Chains A and B, each alone.
Chain A
Amino acid sequence: MVEQVRKLLEKRLGSTAELENLRRSILRKREPSRTCISVCGGTGCRASGAEAVVDALIDEIERRELQINVELKETGCHGFCERGPVVVIRPKRIFYQRVKPEDIPEIISETVLNGNIIERLLYVDPVTNEKIVYEPDVPFYKRQTRTIFGANGEIDPTDIEDYIAVGGYSSLNKALFQMSPEQIIEEVKRSGLRGRGGGGFPTGRKWQSCRDAEGDIKYVICNADEGDPGAYQDRSLLEGNPHSVLEGMIIGAYAIGSHNGYIYVRNEYPLAVRHARIAIEQAMDYGLLGGDILGSGFDFTVTINKGGGAFVCGESSALMASLEGKIGEPRAKYIHMSEKGLWDSPSLLNNVKTWANVPLIINKGAEWYSQIGTVGSKGTMIFSLVGKINNTGLVEVPMGITLRQMIYDIGGGIPNGKKFKAVQTGGPSGGCIPEQYLDTPVDFDELTKLGSMMGSGGMIVMDEDTCMVDVARYFIEFLKGESCGKCIPCREGLTRMSEVLSNITQGKGKREDLDILEDLAGILSGGALCALGTSAANPVLSTLGYFRDEYIAHIDEKKCPAGVCRELIQYSIDPEKCEGCLRCLRACPTGAISGEKRKVHTLNQGMCIKCGACYDVCKFDAVIKQ
Chain B
Amino acid sequence: MALALDFPKVKAIVESYTEKVDSLIDSYADKKEELISLLQDVQAEFNYLPRDVLIKISQKLDIPLSQVFSVATFFRAFSLKPRGRHLVTVCLGTACHVRAGQRLVDKVERDYRIKPGETTEDMKFTLETVNCLGCCALGPVAVVDGKYESQMNPDKLDRVLRGCK
Contact = CB atoms under 8 A, between A and B. Distances in A.
A611 B94 contact: no
B37 interface: yes
B94 A460 contact: yes
Contacts of A84: 137-138
A231 B132 contact: yes
Given A267-B77, A308-B40, A589 B33 contact: no
B71 A325 contact: yes
A237 to B, nearest CB: 11
Interface in A71-106: 81-82, 84
B69 to A, nearest CB: 10
Interface residues of B, number: 47
B137 to A, nearest CB: 3
B153 interface: yes
Interface stretch (A18-26, A221-229, A514-522, A540-548): A221-229
B112 to A, nearest CB: 12
Which of A235, A236, A484 has the largest number of chain B CB atoms within 10 A?
A235
B78 interface: yes
Contacts of A388: 98-99
Given A325-B35, A392-B137, A230 B71 contact: no
Contacts of B75: 307-310, 327-328
Interface string A609-625: 10111001100000000
Contacts of B148: 43, 46-47
Given A47-B141, A47-B148, A424-B94, A309 B110 contact: no
Given A44-B135, A48-B150, A268-B134, A386 B33 contact: no
A228 B132 contact: yes
A482 interface: yes
Nearest to B33: A325
A298 interface: no
A616 B74 CA distance: 38
Interface string B93-133: 11111111001001100110000000000000000001111
Contact of B93 (A47, A230, A484, A613): A230
A269 B76 CA distance: 14
B150 A47 contact: yes
B37 A386 contact: no
Interface string B144-165: 0000111001110000000000
Contacts of B138: 44, 47-48, 81-82, 84
A501 interface: no
Given A322-B36, A460-B94, A232 B131 contact: no
A392 B98 CA distance: 14
Contacts of A613: 154-155
A125 B130 CA distance: 33
A305 B131 CA distance: 20
Contacts of A612: 100, 103
A616 B35 contact: no
Nearest to A303: B34
B40 A306 contact: yes
B136 interface: yes
29 contacts: A43-B133, A43-B134, A43-B135, A44-B137, A81-B135, A226-B134, A229-B97, A229-B131, A230-B132, A268-B77, A307-B77, A308-B76, A309-B75, A324-B33, A325-B33, A327-B71, A328-B74, A328-B75, A384-B136, A386-B95, A392-B95, A393-B137, A428-B94, A458-B94, A475-B94, A478-B131, A611-B154, A612-B100, A617-B155
Given A229-B96, A325-B32, 19 more contacts: A44-B137, A46-B148, A84-B138, A227-B132, A230-B94, A232-B135, A306-B40, A308-B77, A309-B77, A309-B130, A325-B33, A327-B70, A328-B74, A328-B75, A387-B95, A388-B99, A427-B94, A612-B103, A616-B153
